[in-house]
Amino acid sequence: MSRLVVISNRVAVPKARGAAGAQGGLAGALNSALKKFGGVWFGWSGQQSEGGTGNINLQRSDGVTTATIDLSSRDIDEYYNGYANSTLWPLFHYRIDLAEYEREFGKGYERVNERFAESVAPLVEDDDLVWVHDYHLLPLGERLRSRGMKNRIGFFLHTPWPPTNLFVSLPYHERLVRTMLEYDLIGFQTRTWLESFLHYCGKELGAEVDDETGRIEFEGRVTHARAYPIGIDWDHLQSQMDTGEARQAGQRLLSSTRHRTAMIGVDRLDYSKGLPERLDGIGRFFDQNPDRVRDLVFIQIAPPSREDVESYQKIRTTLEQKTGQINGARSEVDIVPIRYVNKGHSLAELCGFYRAAKIGLVTPLRDGMNLVAKEYVAAQDPEDPGVLILSRFAGAAEQLTEALLVNPHSRDDISHAIRTALDMPLEERKRRYEALIKTVRDDNVQQWTEEFTRDLAGAG
């Protein structure tokens, strides 16, 4: 059986003996696959080392080998904060107004991808399956091929892929996609993102594209592109639901609501999540339904991310201002309508919060998938489930069709959905939940991992 080599920007390095087996989500699924196949997980350590020593730190825990390298401060500025998160991330989320096209960013991105290839190549054996992850490493397959690597190499993009008329705003866009066609298999979260990529390959590159099968033939080479919607780690989440930590968190939230319905949002502090627009929608709800300030409390959990990037600093300031304005206008002596929490919580705590909240508000402006929506559904009480309000521009909307789907740019749409959720009878809540839970339970992250690695093993 072939080994599996996973390559990603960051690696889930176990912190203690056995820790890898305790992880959930994508990290847990990839660790499970690595234990099944054997192999290595390679990426950046998250540490800074001036000059880039080239040293690889190898660790083995619970049957999984991790291999990490440090990056220099210049690498981090140009490759990570620069091209990956200030150029590609906004572009892939349709925010070309925020994308920064700096020549040095592009050079840093290519340099670090070259270094990744140089460092990982000696670790790859002839029959290994190589699985590269996400927008940080788009050209890595081509860099590995340039070293003579003939292995089956797959790539999965966790973000959206933008429409062609947006993607062509990227300098050297054609060169970037040409490097991607060195992969044997490319995976996308949804059919929508897949179709955008296939359209680009046909229109801009003149590749021969089969839209039904995802087969792309270009300059004598064949690549396959398909949709693989990622899921949650169902078993791990259920185990967290059964903990005292989850029960205590849920009880804390319930005891603090003063008999109001709790509505929850959990998002990284990121402009793609539509948090200012969400607060505008909530403000519109209270403007249209002032008497319901005693019926509803909204809890927004938004841990900070990428604090070195200016656009992230601005969004935090905007959220604090909007929260203060709504609370100032609608608070009573004993009631505050919005609670804004700028820190992270464990999965067990979040599960407790999800179960206690009768409305889940997940309204990104654009998202590759959005697993918070699926986690919220998975945490519900089958006998008294909550209602999921979901942006139709999240990848999850293609699967979770029984959620209340909204346009996150429309204050009135969000306001109407909140009122509908508040007033929804139990029978309808249960009907929607039963349809949603089947998808969430069955299309889980283990299934996703198995499907991709099986298709990669059979590719070309």
334 tagged catalytic: no
Which is catalytic among the residues 93, 158, 224, 236? 158
367 tagged catalytic: yes
Are 153 and 4 within 8 A, CB to CB? no
Alpha carbon distance 172, 9 (integer Å): 22
| DSSP-derived secondary structure letter, 183 | S
Exposure string over 190-217, b if 16+ CB within 10 A, otherwise e:
bebbbbbbbbbbbeebebebeeeebbbe
Which two structure tokens, joined as six digits, stand for 186? 């490319």
Q: Quick count: other Cβ atoms within 10 Å of Cβ 78?
A: 25
Q: Which residues pair with 209 in a beta bridge?
A: 216
Alpha carbon distance 291, 336 (integer Å): 14
Q: Which residues pair with 215 in a beta bridge?
A: 210, 224
Q: Which bin fits 301, alpha (ψ -120 to 50), beta or left (φ > 0)?
A: beta
Lookup result for tokens 């319930």: 254
Alpha carbon distance 179, 447 (integer Å): 28
Q: Quick count: other Cβ atoms within 10 Å of Cβ 354?
A: 26
Which is catalytic among the residues 70, 128, 367, 413? 367
Three-state SS for 226? strand
For the annotated catalytic residues, the residue numbers are 158, 367
